[in-house]
Structure 1
Amino acid sequence: MALIHVACFLILCSISSAQFRGDSDGVCAPDDGFGKYCPTTCGVADYLQKYKPSMDKELDEMEYLLEEISNLTKGAQDKVTYMRDSATQAQKSNPPDYYIKRSSNMLDDILRFERSIIEQESKIYELERMLGTNEKQMLQLKQLSLQLEQKCQQPCQDTIKIEPTTGKDCQDIANKGARTSGLYFVKPMKATQQFLVYCDIDSTGSGWTVLQRRRDGTLDFSKNWIQYKEGFGYLSPDDTTEFWIGNEKIHLLSTQSTIPYILRIEMTDWEGAKKHADYAMFKVGPEVDMYRLTYAYYYGGDAGDAFDGFDFGDPSDKFFTSHNGMQFSTADKDNDRYEGNCAKQDRSGWWMNRCHAAHLNGRYYKDGKYTEKDAGENGFDNGIIWATWHSRWYSMKETTMKMIPINRMTTGGDQQTGVKQFGGLGDI
């Protein structure tokens, strides 16, 4: 039965919808995991190819055992026939009393042999039934493997829609006429190759390049330096998945233009309330500077300026929890100002100080509220935090980080009131 379950699992995997990894380069990647947006079924075919030899070997061994059992059964049947014939002969040619008693004993032996034969035949029937079922399953797997091999010999094709317009960021794409939010390829000015991003484009032509999404906690943000550098998670055309676009990509996007960018942080709490915070002249430095975060000032919003730090009760807390000018830290590369390792304690990557008042890559807590006990052995506030809205022991339900040239905030009808403005900037 275990074999049948395995076979069913493989068949179900093979008919799942094809998927696409966020920053795929178009090459068939056999080691891609199975998920909602994986690029290929080559991994299933490789698994089948690995699975077939062991199953063929087991089937050969089963056939050998069946042949042995068949030979033993035939020998037992021949012996029973011989014993019956011998008993009949003995009764004809010898005194009845002695041979009747002897024949009775022989018949008892015959009955025992017959019962043994019946049991063996029952086992043989069960083995033959299993063999037939396994042969049928193996035939299906072989046919499926051939189909998958044929697919993998062909170039991998996108089964999700990637919009045709390209540009140096999502605003550049919107300037070229795109009005549909979705997946686009961008190539910043200093980038050596294009990469895939999700563009949030509204009807006024404002094109936001999305850097981070938290939706439902399905993606683990406990990653190392390389993973945060290159990016992780999945991009989807319907904007339902979680991801970190990658520090190197954020650096290339945010430093390419003479027109500064706005970083917008959008959050949703577990009661359904939505708030945001904007930061002007947002940039992320190169890797040699550990992807340092800088911005000029808080541009506005209703979530409060948590990047500026927060007074948790000690006047020094605000200074030690501000994020402007901080380098990026992960568990395996500590660049914070704390004697310990904030990223290791929180199991995430972020622009840590000692340690934070804002942390959007923290641990995902269902229902929002959590305690020191929930946070683990260290007991530190490690949730998805924005301290100027909710307390440090409240973890957000959804977050988004996205960027746009600052001139679109004044020309696109999305400007904030009561904050500094930049005028006279044309579209990039």
Structure 2
Amino acid sequence: MASSLLHAAVGVLLSCCLSYAVSDTGIYCPTTCGVADYLQKYKPSVEADLKYMENKLGEIANLTKGAQDTVQYMRDQSVKAQKSTPDSYLKSSSMLDDIIRFEKSIVAQEEQIYALQGILESNSKRMLDLKQMSIQLEQKCKEPCKDTVEIQEVKGKDCQDVANKGGKVSGLYFVKPQQAAEEFLVYCEIDNFGNGWTVLQRRRDGSLDFNKNWVQYKNGFGHLTPDDSTEFWLGLEKIHKLSTQSSIPYVLRMEMVDWSGVRKYADYSMFRVSPEQDMYRLTYAYYSGGDAGDAFDGFDFGDDASDKFYTSHNGMQFSTPDKDNDKYDGNCAQQDGSGWWMNRCHAAHLNGKYYQGGTYTEKDAGESGYDNGIIWATWHSRWYSLKETTMKIIPINRLTGGGQNAGVKQFGDI
């Protein structure tokens, strides 16, 4: 079993390390060098376990052989007794019954031994596979051992700090917010003006299912890549640590692309996400600009006079299908199949279901029939799902005095 588990773990690690630097749980995935170290660490104990099993099977086989010899001896004695006196015959019949019972017990033990031998042979084969894999990994990691995923060397408390310390190119960086227990990997967008955006969310092509539970939204899911080609959610706990660490508040920028290739954005100043005890509540001071409109303030859909009030997002706690924190009698996240800062329910929802082509209907939305796409109601209809989205933050002082114009230009150049 130990060999089987190790073999499965190595398979997962290998597939992960071919192209990604972060796993579904948001934890850094080691490259081939890390996998080789992993193998070297556990291989001796697995080999020792297999050797122990071999010895035990040998002992059992010897005991069984001795029992078989005993059965044969008892049979011989029974035959001799049958040829003698009647009393001896009766005794031998009773003895024969005992022999038969004993023999059945031996047969049952032999069947178990055959099963154990099969397991041993299977584990031995897997051990050989592991040894071969280890040799291949060691060959890949001969001096110098270079990671297959490029992670930039500069570190900071966020991507702006990384840019201030010399980070020049967009890519993967380790950051450690002031209250974080350990560093974690993020994708940084760094432009020619020295602006360092920390990316919190990315939708590109619908390849990642955003229908996740509370723990997954807390820890993060998806994959980070150096070429920024994949979809991900960084994780509420990381977003909380990033957004609350500094006396200088952050701006949250929501960038969107529709199916005609048109790009728009919306900025929210003094953005914060509270800790888990407060269900990662979203707050901001004001909408500070953008051509996508202020969907976070709610939208009048024309269904009810209270539409705008009940679809605003400022001050809302985060909800997932398995953890309902919204203002609705039902569960907005469950009917939409994704996590978000739900009210009753939303006018903006960038974690919604991905619809190819953009337009969809109540029938497409499934049993609930509610608007569950990637929505920004102040730009497109609730029945239009956007093609690409990005959520990213930057300290507010980087966007003052004309900084916003630079940010818009940078977005257009993506």
**TM-score, normalised on structure 1?**
0.66
**Cα gap change, 1:41/1:398 in structure 2, threshold over 3 Å: closer, same or farther?**
farther
C-alpha distance in 1 between matches for 2:406 and 2:310: 28
Aligned to 2:132: 147
Q: CA deviation at 1:410?
A: 1.8
**Per-residue Cα deviation, 1:162-209 (whole angstroms, up to 9, x for no partner):** 000000000000011211000000000000000000000001100000
Q: Do structure 1's residue 403 and structure 2's residue 404 form an aligned pair? A: no
Matched, 1:315 2:305: yes
Tell me the CA shift for residue 411 of structure 1.
Answer: 5.3
Asked if 1:394 corresponds to 2:397, the answer is no
Distance 2:17 2:297 in 1: 46
Tell which structure's C-alpha radius of gyration is larger: 1
State how far apart, in whole Å, the 2-side matches of 1:304 and 1:233 are: 28
CA distance in 1, matches of 2:31, 2:406: 45
Quick one: distance in 1 between partners of 2:159 and 2:17?
Answer: 31
Q: Match for 1:387: what amino acid?
A: A
- Please list every run of 5 or more consecutive structure 1 residues that lacks an aligned counterpart in the other structure: 1-9, 30-38, 54-139, 418-428
Question: Are residue 371 (structure 1) and residue 356 (structure 2) matched?
Answer: no
Closer, same or farther: CA 398–18 of 1 in aligned 2, 3 Å: closer
Question: Per the alignment, do residues 188 and 412 of structure 1 end up closer, same or farther by CA in structure 2, a change over 3 Å counting?
Answer: farther
Structure 1: which amino acid aligns with 2:134? E
**Alignment check: 8 A CA contact 1:290 1:327 kept:** yes
Task: Give 1:357's aligned amino acid.
Answer: A
Cα 1:201–1:340, aligned 2, differ >3 Å: closer, same or farther?
Answer: same
Q: Is the 2:297–2:311 contact (alpha carbons within 8 Å) kept by the matching residues of 1? A: yes
Distance 1:17 1:42 in 2: 17
In structure 2, the residue matched to 1:63 is none
Give the aligned partner of residue 220 of structure 1: 209
Q: Where does residue 18 of structure 2 map in the other structure?
A: 17
Quickly say closer, same or farther: Cα 1:40–1:19, change in 2 above 3 A: farther
Q: Check the 8 A contact 1:206/1:412 in 2, yes or no.
A: no
Q: State the superposition RMSD in angstroms.
A: 3.3
Question: Structure 1 vs Structure 2: percent identity of aligned residues?
Answer: 66
Equivalent runs, 1:215-364 vs 2, <5 Å:
215-313=204-302, 314-364=304-354
User: Does the 8 A contact of 2:240 with 2:280 survive in 1?
Assistant: yes
The aligned residue for residue 164 of structure 1 is: 153
Alignment length (residue pairs)? 307
Q: What is the CA–CA distance in structure 2 between the aligned matches of 1:223 and 1:162, rounded to whole Å? A: 27
- Could you tell me how far apart the structure 2 residues matched to 1:416 and 1:195 are? 28
Whole-Å separation in 2 of the counterparts to 1:310 and 1:352: 14
Cα 1:411/1:159, change in 2 over 3 Å: farther
| Residue 21 of structure 1: how far off its partner (Å) | 1.8
The answer to whether the 8 A contact 2:28-2:185 is kept is no
**Equivalent in the alignment of 2:76:** none
The equivalent of 2:99 in structure 1 is: none
TM-aligned CA deviation for residue 41 of structure 1:
9.1
Task: Compute the displacement of 1:324 (Å).
Answer: 0.2
Return the alpha-carbon distance in structure 1 between the equivalents of residues 202 and 395 of structure 2. Answer: 20
Match for residue 414 of structure 1 among 382, 399, 404: 404
TM-score (norm 2): 0.68
Q: Which residue of 2 aligns with 1:180?
A: 169
Gaps of 5+ in 2: 1-10, 51-124, 408-414
Question: Does the 8 A contact of 1:284 with 1:294 survive in 2?
Answer: yes
The one-letter code matched in structure 1 to 2:179 is K
Task: Work out whether residues 21 and 30 of structure 2, in 8 Å CA contact, stay in contact via their aligned partners in 1.
Answer: no
CA displacement at 1:16 relative to structure 2: 9.0
